[in-house]
Amino acid sequence: MKRIAISLLLVTSLLLAIACERKGGPGTSNSTGTIVVGYYGDLSGRTSNFGQSTKEGVLMAADEINKAGGLNGRQVQILSEDDEGRPEKAATVVTKLIDQDKVVALLGEVASGNTLAAAPKAQGAKVPMISPSSTNPAVTQVGDYIFRVCFIDPFQGEVMAKFAANTLKAKKAAIMLDFNSPYSRGLTEFFEAAFTKLGGQIVNKQSYTQGDRDYKGQLTAIRSASPDVIYVPGYYGEVGVIAKQAQQLGIKAPLLGGDGWDATQLWELGGDALNGDFISNHYSVDDPSPAIQKFVADYQGRYSKRPDALAALGYDAMKVLAEGIKKAGSTDGQKLRDAIAQTKDFSGVTGTISLDAQRNAVKPAVVLKLQDKKYIYQETIYPEGMGPQTKAAPAATTEAPSKAGN
């Protein structure tokens, strides 16, 4: 036992000695030279396609900024870390980015669970963090250094409920949600509440988990309840197949969804089974407005594929941050935070972004109809207290910031 104790003591002392540093000195701040921004996301795990997509948007934005001369004359550098989609690792990499790499701000994460784990670190260290797509309301409640550029679940869920009840005149709705996804559950909760408040009735509720091959069991049950519409607030990977299998079962009711549907693979998986379905989104990749088309073209040129909702949000998150840095004229935590908090009518690809007092993005949502591999604009639904006049964005065509992600 003594030998064990001594050897363990040796190992521990070694570790502690390696880690040693002086404490209590003044912190060094970098006020010249490259601006280092940290990005964290799932780059190697189950949801790495989300993390990679968002990263691509962020990198493209950073490149554009640098090509245009940088911010206040300084170049931007993105340092990205992989959290494998695990909350514990998210907190670890954020600690590393703040502590070791001395980043001035953080971008991430996609999944609310991971953001919630990491945000307290940013808040504690007074480093502003902008989440591109975490939609759970709790995220920005962590503290005043945490922002987001996407919708929160309460808003988006309500949007579809309004559309279903008011425009489609649906009385009965069924729901098919992704059980493990906080995004899906959040949207479901608020859709349900809003739809019933508008006089509708939820006739059946089914859930699936990512990785399920077969949805016919749930769809058959839904079919017997004869709903007018079916709300499927999930991700494109599963939704495409759900639409297909629903068609095979002869279900005629239209499917409704959120921005999690937005990706090219959706069409590959669902094909024409998707025709006649609707989604709420923040923008449409088919929007003819020049700003959006330029974004799509640039993205296509750089990555040889069309951007999905997450890439667009990553892009906007970086741009909002850049705007904040420019306005603040410095990268000091407090000043930067205040500058970002004042973001008003920022013209992003995902809509006109204004951050409210809770640091959530306030932007209208568009409802789009899916037809023949295209998204066709239906209508715009505004948040409370916002109307068509207050929008400064190009009119009519698809415009709607959306809170994608989970």
Q: Which of residues 48-77 bind another protein (CB under 8 A)?
A: 48-49, 52
Shortest distance in whole angstroms from residue 19 CB to another protein = 4
- Of the two residues 225 and 376, which places its CB atom closer to another protein in the complex? 225
DSSP class of residue 358 equals T
Residue 11, interface with another protein (CB under 8 A)? yes
Task: Please tell me the distance from the alpha carbon of residue 161 to that of residue 194, in angstroms, as a whole number.
Answer: 6
- Of the two residues 137 and 394, which places its CB atom closer to another protein in the complex? 137
Residue 30, interface with another protein (CB under 8 A)? no
Instruction: At 212, list the tokens.
Output: 């399920």
Non-local CB neighbours of 347 within 8 Å, separated by 6+ positions? 291, 392, 393
Interface with another protein in residues 77-96 (CB under 8 A): 81-82, 84-89, 91-93, 95-96
CB 280 within 8 A of CB 163: yes
- Segment near another protein (CB under 8 A); pick from 162-170, 265-273, 319-327, 358-366: 265-273
* Contact letters for another protein, residues 195-214 (x by CB under 8 A): -----------xxxx-xxxx
Question: Binding another protein by CB under 8 A: which of 127, 269, 368, 370?
Answer: 269
Residue 357, interface with another protein (CB under 8 A)? no
Can you tell me which residue has the tokens 């001395």? 102
Question: Binding another protein by CB under 8 A: which of 70, 237, 276, 394?
Answer: 237
- Of the two residues 82 and 323, which places its CB atom closer to another protein in the complex? 82
# residues near another protein by CB under 8 A = 83
- Of the two residues 5 and 68, which places its CB atom closer to another protein in the complex? 5
Measured between alpha carbons, how far is residue 316 from residues 123, 194, 309 in Å? 21, 29, 11
- Of the two residues 42 and 399, which places its CB atom closer to another protein in the complex? 42
Shortest distance in whole angstroms from residue 392 CB to another protein = 34
Residues composing the chain: 406
Residue 109, interface with another protein (CB under 8 A)? no
Nearest C-alpha neighbor of 383 from the set 400, 406, 358, 405: 400
Cis peptide before 238 (omega within 30 of 0): no
Interface with another protein in residues 270-309 (CB under 8 A): 271
CB 91 within 8 A of CB 79: no
Can you tell me which residue has the tokens 């025709």? 275
- Of the two residues 20 and 395, which places its CB atom closer to another protein in the complex? 20
Residue 102, interface with another protein (CB under 8 A)? no
- Segment near another protein (CB under 8 A); pick from 161-169, 219-227, 360-368, 372-380: 219-227
Task: Please tell me the distance from the alpha carbon of residue 246 to that of residue 239, in angstroms, as a whole number.
Answer: 10
Question: Dmax over Cα atoms in the chain, in whole Å?
Answer: 78
Residue 384, interface with another protein (CB under 8 A)? no
Residue 321, classed as helix, strand or coil, is helix
> To 5 degrees, how large is the angle CA 75–CA 81–CA 87?
135
Shortest distance in whole angstroms from residue 136 CB to another protein = 6
Stretch (H or E) spanning 177:
strand 172-178
Interface with another protein in residues 114-133 (CB under 8 A): 116-117, 120
Residue 83 burial (CB count, 10 A): 26
Question: Binding another protein by CB under 8 A: which of 123, 179, 306, 356?
Answer: 179
